Amino acid sequence: MKATAADQRRLVEVAQLDARIRQAEHARRNPPQAARVQELLGRRQELSAELTQRLGARDDLRTELARIESDVAVVDARAARDSQRLASSSNAKEAQGLESELAALARRKSDLEDAELSVMERLELADAAVAEQEALIAATNAEGAELSAEGKRAVAEAGAAFDAATRDRAAIAELLPGELMTFYERVAARSSGAALLRRRTCEGCHMVLAGTDLQALRQAPEDEVVTCPECGCILVRDDESGL
């Protein structure tokens, strides 16, 4: 196939734009923040499950504390009633019985107050545990929100780069013969498409060409479209090719 040196150089521009288009498409589909965002989503689920357990433990303690406080109130009410009866009683046996019951109620209240204090201490720890877990979730959510925003910006930037490279490629492709572009598309399906030969090295595969291959390139006419013997891309020669 024949093509002017200028058209062959344009093919290198098309190949470079194709590489930019592929990179932009990959960046658009796979923003660098995506993996961490997914990791944070999994982490948040774990933290939320742990928070549910801690909330349940705290609620159980609150229920237990309310029950103890209710029992204390019952004991206080019975003690107040017995004290009133004792104050108005003139029966020695009845008074003795009331005094015995008041002593039992006092012991019961002391036990309840000790239990109440223990539960309150445990509840304080449970409140702290819940607050700690909520703080971890808040931090995870904040990081996730920040990364999501960064990811959206990255996707938008990649989309803009994709659109710009696509427009530039179309503009250059319009200047090239259709037969040449058809050949390029076929070659690009299995290689980098087109690349310069620089100092005897193919910039498509970065391989230094053998002496026999270089000799064949020297003998090829300037307008002959040649390909790299290593990777198969269209090899564009110029003054820096080392031929």
pLDDT tens-place values along the chain, 243 residues long: 899 999 999 999 999 999 999 999 999 999 999 999 999 999 999 999 999 999 999 999 999 999 999 999 999 999 999 888 877 777 777 768 878 888 998 999 999 999 999 999 999 999 999 999 999 999 999 999 999 999 999 999 999 999 999 999 999 999 999 999 999 999 999 999 999 999 999 999 999 999 898 898 889 999 999 999 999 999 999 888 887
Q: How far apart are CA 199 and CA 237, in angstroms?
A: 10
Q: Residue 214: enclosing H or E segment and its boundaries?
A: helix 211-219
Q: Which domains does the chain have, with CATH numbers?
A: 5-26+176-236 (no CATH), 28-157 (1.10.287.1700)
DSSP alpha helix (H) spans, 30-177: 34-88, 92-175
Could you tell me the strand order of the sheet in which 234-236 lies?
A: 201-202, 194-198, 234-236, 226-227
Residue 89 has what pLDDT?
74
Which has the closest alpha carbon to 229: 195, 186, 180, 189? Answer: 195
Which has the closest alpha carbon to 192: 13, 24, 1, 26? Answer: 13
Residue 170 has what pLDDT?
96
Dihedral over alpha carbons 217, 219, 222, 223 (to 10 degrees):
-90
Residue 177, token pair as written in the block: 């013969």
How many other C-beta atoms are found inside a 10 Å radius of the C-beta of residue 61?
A: 19
Whether the pTM exceeds 0.85: the reply is: no
